Structure 1
């Protein structure tokens, strides 16, 4: 046996040497928690780009749902069906810009002064009935109301004006929908082999549920937008085209969209007199009744059952953090998180059932 001292005994223990097994395990756990905190910080820092990527995924689900529906009546290859859906979408947007764009933008420019005047009338009525408010309080309320209305009317401007973000979302969506298996395999490759089957099952359920959710949203947008525009135009309500378009767009925002569109519709209606205002209230109630009793139950049967308070809370958080984009994508995000948690619970329960 050699009398030469070992390397450790000659040099002594280094500052990174951990001999105690318990301390070593705790150090590994600490490293995992530090890594998770760093990952969370990175996600927060890259939140907006990640949200844009998710927007591209949602757009891909819209296109994929359209091509699947088209495949029931048109027996051609999947890439051709995707191309047909994209061409139809581009043609519709071109029609909106060409034939309705100038009229809608003119009405959008006229809406803020009209809403301001109507808000001031409401405040004056409240003051006349004993709800006394100081001049500064009235001004603050008007500013808050205009701020909310401004965000709503800017939704259309964001659709046509946020060209860069919209273009990136569209391009990403096209890439995703053309080769979905490529990206799914790429994500699965980064996971352990034992988890890949579970991952593919989760993504399949996510895709199916999200397609049904978006199909319901699109159906509601078309029904509410067209019916609102037609009903208001028949009676001669000002800005009928803009109100119909805003109503259709805001259907994409459950819980929040309907009250906002109804408030705008009623304020504009009362600018033309009491009878017109009452008519706008009736239109709003009828349209929302049809949507709530026909469209929403039909879609809810085939999609994730989400608690309204949960969706509303997510919309408020994402809306404050990311504006109109976060508000629009909060609902799909909640759906995907719910399915991921359900699938993980099912996966964790299987070993118990096997025992």
Structure 2
């Protein structure tokens, strides 16, 4: 009779399909992160337009909320009534701009496009005569630049083509402004409990910063538009009303808006004569210096201070990724990101958040 040796106890180890294995668990977490990032990039590319409409609605809701709070300082009525007054005022202003641009300024807009194209061709001809550009490429380059400026100055056609997007932004903004805390709680509900209070703090800080930033931007737009119109009218520059309106609207875009409005202003001025052109050049530099050294610094002290180069880089990147909406919303998005990162840094450093 053969006596077999006793079996030694065998300890089973987790296999690669067992999620309790620390190595497997770590690799799954890494793969999940990379897959999530890839899906996020694909989602941003695929849903770029809806995402920008939602962000635009958020920015518009901040404007409505800021106007409601400001109105509450002088009109002690319920928030619902104050918000209704602000919404009606905003919609009335948007409608007036569309009607004014579509009826009073439609012919001037076409004339402005022709004037700018002619002035660009003159400039390209002069550069070609000086040997700065090849003669064979003069008209091609001029046509490209004139076409680009023409698209920028076609405010009426662009507004009519984007009316659906504008309506969606307005509707989203109104819904959020009516009950902002409802959406705050909805987003916070998806976060772990330990992250909800910091989220409320960051959301409040971002909202306050954007309200001050956008209110200051509106003040700057009104100043540049009205002052440009008055100064150009005094100097006899044609299409002063249209140039004032374009300058005021483009003032929402730091850096880029000032350059585009200045090119249009000077081109129209020199089309009427050297005196008008020099006056338009003076008006442009005078308005920009007053706005840059008086209005903007005063606003920056009360809002988030953004470096001009950083704002320009954000505009170029978001404009390339998301088009005109990305260009318009680059500044508020950058301000919100900066405040968020600052608050997260303070929280991680253990500072007391007031």
Structures share fold, TM-score greater than 0.5: yes
- 1:179 is matched with 179
Tell me whether 1:158 sits opposite 2:176 in the alignment. no
- 2:284 is matched with 284
- 2:250 is matched with 250
Sort the Cα spacing of 1:192 and 1:116 in 2 relative to 1 into closer, same or farther, 3 A. Answer: same
Sort the Cα spacing of 1:29 and 1:90 in 2 relative to 1 into closer, same or farther, 3 A. Answer: closer
Secondary structure in 2 matching 1:301: helix
1:68-107 paired onto structure 2 within 5 Å? 68-99=69-100, 101-107=102-108
- 1:138 is matched with 138
- 1:317 is matched with 317
Question: How big is the shift at 1:76?
Answer: 0.7
- 2:38 is matched with 37
RMSD of aligned Cα (Å): 2.2
CA contact (8 A) 2:306 2:335 kept: yes
Q: List per-residue Cα deviations over 1:24-82 (Å, max 9, x = no partner).
A: 32233222322232233223321221111000010111111111111111111111111
CA contact (8 A) 1:315 1:327 kept: yes
- 2:62 is matched with 61
CA contact (8 A) 1:318 1:326 kept: yes
CA contact (8 A) 2:62 2:207 kept: yes
CA contact (8 A) 1:155 1:324 kept: no
Secondary structure in 2 matching 1:238: coil
Secondary structure in 2 matching 1:306: coil
Of the structure 1 ranges 153-162 and 339-348, higher mean CA displacement relative to structure 2 is found in: 153-162
Query: Could you tell me the TM-score, scaled by structure 2's length?
Result: 0.90
The separation in 1 between residues aligned to 2:271 and 2:328, in whole angstroms, is 30
- 1:199 is matched with 199
CA contact (8 A) 2:128 2:138 kept: no
- 1:108 is matched with 109
The separation in 2 between residues aligned to 1:219 and 1:19, in whole angstroms, is 60
Query: Could you tell me the TM-score, scaled by structure 1's length?
Result: 0.90
Question: How big is the shift at 1:146?
Answer: 1.6
The separation in 1 between residues aligned to 2:89 and 2:165, in whole angstroms, is 21
Q: Which runs of 5+ in 2 are unaligned?
A: 1-11
Q: Which runs of 5+ in 1 are unaligned?
A: 1-8
Question: How big is the shift at 1:99?
Answer: 4.9
- Count of matched residue positions in the alignment of Structure 1 and Structure 2: 342
Sort the Cα spacing of 1:19 and 1:310 in 2 relative to 1 into closer, same or farther, 3 A. Answer: same
- 2:6 is matched with none
CA contact (8 A) 1:115 1:268 kept: yes
- 2:4 is matched with none
Of the structure 1 ranges 43-52 and 149-158, higher mean CA displacement relative to structure 2 is found in: 149-158
